[in-house]
Structure formats: structure tokens, C-alpha cells
Amino acid sequence: MRRLLRKRPALGMALLSGTATAVGIAISLAIDWFPDAASTASKDIDNLWDVLLIASVPVFVLVMSVALYSVFAWKVKPGDTSDGAPIHGHTKLEVVWVTIPFVMVTALALYGWVVLDDIEAKEKDPLIVNVTAQQFAWSFEYPALDKVKSNQLVLPKDRRVELRVKTKDVIHSFWVPEFRLKTDTVPGLTTKVRVTPNRLGRYDVVCAELCGIGHATMRQAVRVVPPGEFQGWVSERKQRAGDGGVAAAGGDTAVAGKTLFADTGCTACHTLADAGSEASAGPPLDDLTKDAAKFGKREGQSAEEYVKTAIEQPEAFVVPGFTKGTMPDNYKKNLSSAEISTLVKYLSDVSGKETK
């Protein structure tokens, strides 16, 4: 190789760069870049990404090869006073390196445009979900399904969904990494995301735009379920029935409560050792029994009544040191009474406990 480089530098370099390009492309494609793909858009975007990698590696290898080759070939010792070749330019070469990048980026832009049209395509009769963001929680409403409300986004698999996203306060950003889709929530506007989930599972809605101190922890559950199960879930919500997720947790209230606590987004604002959350927008719930004893007594409430009131009417009493209006007051509407009971029971049980 060394001899080849010295004797036929152009050929040697081309061989080296070709190998490096092939290896680079192989490695970059082998890397598992993305989270699970859970929507039809994911596949399109992941393919586009692969094309971008294939186009990028040769460019980078070319730059590196020329730079490294020049250094190795024409490095001089300190004190050497010779000059390089007085080459001022080369018109043909310059035309080439204007044209090729131009063609490349134009092609990529067109491809990007096609993918964009694809993933945002309108389809007939989508399932419409109204999404509302506020500091620091998401809530969801299904207008065509009796205005069912929820704190988790539950979606049927393989159905086109149109999410209409609004905010009550500042800008947030609705993002489900597994769907690869995102839109900011803008005060005064309704923005849209169209998505067709195609993989069953539980994912997170992540807030992607800085929205205040609870931003990092502002996440709630998205569940993609089979259409049949979705219908069941909807009718359960309609009757505001159900058992608060206890059966799904195998009858274990503690597990059901912990799941509900995370999926509802309580973890965005409250520290609770048992749930592993460390957020500080709202009072730490590890002190809940203490707080209930201290503040609940004034109203003549039992500890459990105090917790229930705190969820259903957060304005009724604000723990000193925290601001009134921080906690959304829509949990009574969004959660079923069984869910609230599950939460109250869970919180009363685990408060003050150290994590196992």
C-alpha cells in the first residue's frame, strides 16, 4: 500500500478512500440510530436517514482523505523555506465542485419533499384527538367519541389519527419519538399531527420545547392498542367505569397506582421515591402523610380525603411555598373515580416510604 501510494498516489488514494467509504457506510447503517418504529411515518423517515448517511459518508471521507494525504505527502520540516506550487485555481475543477453539491442537495431536497408529503398526507375519516398542553401536563379528548377525556393518549393500531394540538399557556412541543413526529403547541393556534400508529406498545409523549421548570419531566403515556381493545377502552371511559387499572395490574393496587401515577404525568411535577420521580414544580409527595396530617386536619379531613381533594380541586389548598394554579384542575374530568381512588390509595400507602 505504502509503495502504491508513493508510486501511483492517485490510484492509491482512490483505493484507500473507496475502502474507507464502504466501511464508513457499512458502520453508519449498522448503527441502531432510532428508537422503535411505531408509525407509518417512522419507516419513511428511517429510510430517508439511511439515504442521507449513504450520501454523507463519501463527502466526509473525501475531505478527510485529501486533508490527510496532503499532510503526509507535503509536510515539511520546521525551518524549511521552500514554497508550495503557485497554483491559483482551476476553472474546470471549480465548476465540478459547484455542480456536484448542487445536484446532490437538490436531489435530497426533492426526496425530502416527497417524504414530507407522504407522512403528512390527509386520509378520509381520521380519528380526531384534541391534545391540550399546559405547564406541565398533557390532556386528551376524543371529540367524536362522546368527548371522552383522558390523561393518557390511547390510539388504535393502523388507524389514521389527526391530533389537534393546543396549549393553555406557553409553547410546548408534542413529540412521540417512536412516531418520529413532533409539533409545537402555540398559544392562539391549533397545530396538527397526522399519524398512523402501527406497532402495539406503550410509549412516551415527550415535551420537546423548553416550557419552564417542569419541562424535563413533562411526559405522559401513549398506548397503541388493538382496535377491539380501543373500543373497549372508549366505552369504559364513556361510562367513567372500570376499576382504575387494578385488574390490568393483576389485582395489585400498588402496581396499578404506580403505573397510573406515571402515565397520568404526575411524575412531571412531584417527587415520589416509590415512583422514582424527582421533580420540583409541585410539593414532594413523600411528605404527603405529614402534609395531610398537618393541613388536612384544619378542614377536618382524613388523610385520604385530603389527598382526594388535592387531586380533584387543587386550588382548594395550596401547600405553602408553591404557587396557586400550577396544578391543572382537570383531573376530576379526565380521570374516572376508580382511577382517582387507585391514586389516592397508592399515594396514601407509599408516601414517606423509602424506595425498595
Partner 1 sequence: MTLATKLRGPGWYRAAISQPIAFLFAFGLVALVRSLYGWDPVVDWEAITTVALITMPLGFIVGIGCFDYWFRWAAGAPTVPEDHSGHGATKWQDYFKVNTDHKVIGIQYIVTTFIFFVIGGLTAMLIRAELAQPGTQFVDPNTYNGLFSVHASLMIFLFIIPVFAGIANFVIPLMIGAPDMAFPRLNALSFWMLPTAGVMMVASFFVEGGAFATGWTAYAPLSTEMPVGQQFFTLGVQFAGASSIATGLNFLVTIITMRAPGMTFWRMPLLVWANFTTSLLVVIATPFIAGSQFFVLLDRSLGTHFFDAGGGGDVLLYQHVFWFYSHPAVYIMMLPGFGIISEVISTHARKPVFGYRMMAFSLVAIVILGFTVWAHHMFVSGMSDWLRVPMMITTLLIAVPTGIKVFSWLATLWRGAIHLTTPMLFALGFITMFTLGGISGIMLGIIPVVIHVSDTYFIVAHIHYVLFGGSVFTIFAGIYHWFPKMTGRMYDESLGKVHFWLSFIFFNLTFGPMHFVGVDGMPRRVADYADEFATMNAFISVSSFFFGLSFLVFLYNMITSWRNGPKAAANPWRAHSIEWQVSSPPPIFNFDEIPTVVGGPYEYGVPGAVHAVFKEEGAPAKATPAPAGGGGAPPPGE
> What is the spatial distance between Cα 223 and Cα 236, in angstroms, rounded to a whole number?
16
- Helices 91-119, 40-74: axis angle to 10 degrees equals 160
Positions in 100-159 near partner 1 (CB under 8 A): 101-102, 104-106, 108-109, 112-113, 115-116, 119
Counting contacts by CB under 8 A, is residue 75 touching partner 1?
Answer: yes
> What is the spatial distance between Cα 329 and Cα 335, in angstroms, rounded to a whole number?
11
Positions in 148-177 near partner 1 (CB under 8 A): 169-171, 173, 175, 177
- The residue from 85, 239, 300, 354 that contacts partner 1 (CB under 8 A) is 85
Q: Which CB sits closer to partner 1, 7 or 298?
A: 7
Number of CB atoms found within 10 A of residue 65's CB: 17
Positions in 207-236 near partner 1 (CB under 8 A): 207-217
Counting contacts by CB under 8 A, is residue 241 touching partner 1?
Answer: no
Q: How many residues bind partner 1 (CB under 8 A)?
A: 85
Residue 136 has φ and ψ, to the nearest 5°, of -130, 65
- The residue from 3, 7, 90, 298 that contacts partner 1 (CB under 8 A) is 90
> What is the spatial distance between Cα 249 and Cα 290, in angstroms, rounded to a whole number?
28
Counting contacts by CB under 8 A, is residue 28 touching partner 1?
Answer: no
Counting contacts by CB under 8 A, is residue 199 touching partner 1?
Answer: no
**Grid coordinates given for 61:** 471521507
DSSP string across 33-50: -SS---BHHHHHHHHHHH
> What is the spatial distance between Cα 142 and Cα 163, in angstroms, rounded to a whole number?
10
Does residue 148 contact residue 142 with C-beta atoms inside 8 Å? yes
> What is the spatial distance between Cα 271 and Cα 279, in angstroms, rounded to a whole number?
5
Using CB under 8 A, which of the segments 84-92, 139-147, 288-296, 347-355 binds partner 1? 84-92
Q: Which CB sits closer to partner 1, 251 or 276?
A: 276
Counting contacts by CB under 8 A, is residue 54 touching partner 1?
Answer: no
Q: Which CB sits closer to partner 1, 298 or 356?
A: 356
Counting contacts by CB under 8 A, is residue 52 touching partner 1?
Answer: yes
Counting contacts by CB under 8 A, is residue 278 touching partner 1?
Answer: yes
DSSP 277: B
Q: Which CB sits closer to partner 1, 280 or 313?
A: 280
Counting contacts by CB under 8 A, is residue 30 touching partner 1?
Answer: no
DSSP 272: B
Q: Which CB sits closer to partner 1, 232 or 276?
A: 276
- Helices 303-312, 337-350: axis angle to 10 degrees equals 130
